[in-house]
């Protein structure tokens, strides 16, 4: 892991940003760089991943049908769109992060995203809908329900690493 301190922060412009870079080897995917930016000045934090080798734009579809599927490894770049049909679509954007996780970790993150938007929500119907989404995700997390995860990435920097996942062209 390499680390450079005192870099200019893209958010507060102070030279209080630390950039970290790590290289990991992911079986069936290849070498991958992990970047983390943390600012001591304003608390901004951002991470992303980038494969060492160029990749083609891709779409991965995975049916999560059992508790075992929760361990399936996922590489999600900051450029990826994550779709869970009937539940949520998370588009890539400036705040979008890249990370290495598994199905369980991804669902936990999505749950937190829904929870935080739910707190700000005043509409009762939207609130109830969000509650039901969280309920469904919780059921999937204990292997009592199923759902589909779709990851689309124009840069090809993302992947669902499992024989169960279907890869198609974007």
**Helix, strand, or coil (residue 63):** strand
Would you count residue 41 as binding Zn ion (CB under 5 A)? yes
Structure tokens at 129: 């809908």
CB 141 within 8 A of CB 104: yes
Choices 5-13, 30-38, 63-71, 73-81 (CB under 5 A): range interacting with Zn ion: 5-13
Name the minimum Å distance from CB 4 to Zn ion.
15
Would you count residue 39 as binding Zn ion (CB under 5 A)? yes
d(CA 65, CA 76) in angstroms, rounded, equals 20
Would you count residue 42 as binding Zn ion (CB under 5 A)? yes
Would you count residue 9 as binding Zn ion (CB under 5 A)? yes
Would you count residue 38 as binding Zn ion (CB under 5 A)? no
Would you count residue 37 as binding Zn ion (CB under 5 A)? no
Choices 18-26, 43-51, 63-71, 126-134 (CB under 5 A): range interacting with Zn ion: 43-51
d(CA 4, CA 36) in angstroms, rounded, equals 11
d(CA 152, CA 163) in angstroms, rounded, equals 17
d(CA 57, CA 71) in angstroms, rounded, equals 24
Choices 1-9, 18-26, 58-66, 96-104 (CB under 5 A): range interacting with Zn ion: 1-9
Would you count residue 11 as binding Zn ion (CB under 5 A)? yes
């Amino acid at each position: 892991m390499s680390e450079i301190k005192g870099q200019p922060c893209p958010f507060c412009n102070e030279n209080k940003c630390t950039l970290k870079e790590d290289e990991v080897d992911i079986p069936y995917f290849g070498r991958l760089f992990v970047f983390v930016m943390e600012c001591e000045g304003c608390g901004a934090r951002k991470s992303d991943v980038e494969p060492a080798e160029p990749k083609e734009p891709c779409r991965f579809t995975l049916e999560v049908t059992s508790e075992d599927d929760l361990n399936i490894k996922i590489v999600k770049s900051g450029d990826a769109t994550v779709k869970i049909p009937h539940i949520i679509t998370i588009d890539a954007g400036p705040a979008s992060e890249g990370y290495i996780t598994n199905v369980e970790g991804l669902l936990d993150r999505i749950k937190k995203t829904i929870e935080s938007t739910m707190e700000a929500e005043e509409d009762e119907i939207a609130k109830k809908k969000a509650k039901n989404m969280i309920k469904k995700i919780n059921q999937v997390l204990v292997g009592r329900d199923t759902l589909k995860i779709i990851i689309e990435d124009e840069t090809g920097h993302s992947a669902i690493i499992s024989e169960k996942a279907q890869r198609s062209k974007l």
